[in-house]
Amino acid sequence: MNDFTKILRNHKLRPTQQRVNLGKLLFGKGNRHVTAEILKYESDCENLKVSQATVYNVLNDFYNVGLLAKVNIDDDKTWYDTNVEHHYHIFIEDESRLVDISPDAIDISIPKKLTKGKISKVDLVVKINS
Amino acid sequence: MNDFTKILRNHKLRPTQQRVNLGKLLFGKGNRHVTAEILKYESDCENLKVSQATVYNVLNDFYNVGLLAKVNIDDDKTWYDTNVEHHYHIFIEDESRLVDISPDAIDISIPKKLTKGKISKVDLVVKINS
DNA sequence: ATGCCTGCAAAATATTTGCATGTAA
DNA sequence: TTACATGCAAATATTTTGCAGGCAT
């Protein structure tokens, strides 16, 4: 029983082969940003037996228990981020690539009267190109 | 020949009935935020003869010439904003409603070394609920 | 053994496109 | 009249879901 199996149990998710394998891809090498398409491609490269539907289902499962965050960049694909702490993003348009920014690096003070203090999330995406 | 016809001509768009009618809906009563679905619903209410495909085409035409801005809030529908000046957004989740924030209201200073000065767009969405 | 999970295909949703027709210039 | 826009339906793209079978407990 490896570490990710334990993490799945801690989040009340049954550690199936697909969840464990996708979990290793996602959490095995530092913070990552993926789309469902990218993750399916990677799992195919590793000859894992995972359907595209299961990739979607597992991403949603992980998101629902707080293992992943969603990032909305453009009007097509949804991105998933293994960093679930509060932070911001740079999107490198040329490369369709996301980079995290620590909230410490950018100070955003939102006047309370605008939001009545009921903030649930603050999304900041800085888009850059060359 | 009314005002919006003139605006269309200025943007090198032929002022067809559909573009003029949708333009009036969009720009006739202050700043607005709409999805393709909302705009189709409104044009149906006014008994305008516009197909859903044309609503999409016209929104894209207006976006491409700079009459509209796109806003990405969630992973489903794309929002269009009649305010094309640089600004930020509050998204009221309960009501699925967008509100503009002037960039003067929130100071965001992004360290140059993070972006190498190549910023093309800064998207800020503050999500609130009750 | 039981119930949750997966694969596959089909459905659902959002958006784009091809083509014949209509309309602005 | 000529080119561009529209309507409709079909195609495309992304994501979700139903169901039969499979695997974890």
Strand C–CB B14 distance below 7 A = yes
Q: Indicate yes or no: CB of B120 within 8 angstroms of CB of A129.
A: yes
Q: Which residue has the higher pLDDT, A3 or B65?
A: B65
Q: How many domains are there within chain B? A: 2
Quote the domain boundaries for residue B106. 88-128
- Note whether A59 and A111 are same-domain residues: no
**B68 shares its domain with B6:** yes
Question: Helix or strand or coil: residue B102?
Answer: coil
Kindly state whether B114 is in contact with chain A, defined as any CB-CB distance less than 8 angstroms: yes
Predicted TM-score (pTM) of this structure:
0.92
* Number of Cβ within a 10 Å radius of residue A58: 24
A44/A97 same-domain check: no
A70 and A25 housed in the same domain: yes
The residues, any chain, with a CB within 8 Å of residue A109's CB and separated by 6 or more, are: B106, B107
Rounded to 5 degrees, φ, ψ at B12 are 60, 35
Residue A106 contacts strand C, CB under 7 A: no
Instruction: Note whether A16 and A74 are same-domain residues.
Output: yes
Q: Read off the CATH number of the domain in which A14 is found.
A: 1.10.10.10
Q: Is residue A101 domain-shared with residue A43, that is, in the same domain?
A: no
Report the candidate in A68, A62, A92 with the shortest Cα–Cα distance to residue A80: A68
- Do you know the residue count of chain A? 130
A104 interface with B at CB cutoff 8 Å: no
Distance from CA of A129 to the nearest CA of B (A): 6
Question: What does the pLDDT look like over A46-76, one tens digit per residue?
Answer: 999 999 999 999 999 999 999 999 999 998 8
CB A102 within 8 A of CB B129: no
Please state, in angstroms and rounded to a whole number, the distance separating the CA atoms of residues B130 and B110. Answer: 30
Between residue 12 and residue 31 of chain A, the positions with Cβ below 7 Å from nucleic chain C are: 13-14, 16-19
Residue B71 shares a structural domain with residue B98 = no
Q: Which of A81, A96, A111 is the last residue of a domain?
A: A81
If asked whether residues B17 and B70 sit together in one domain, one would say: yes
User: Where residue B2 falls among pLDDT bands split at 50, 70, 90?
Assistant: low
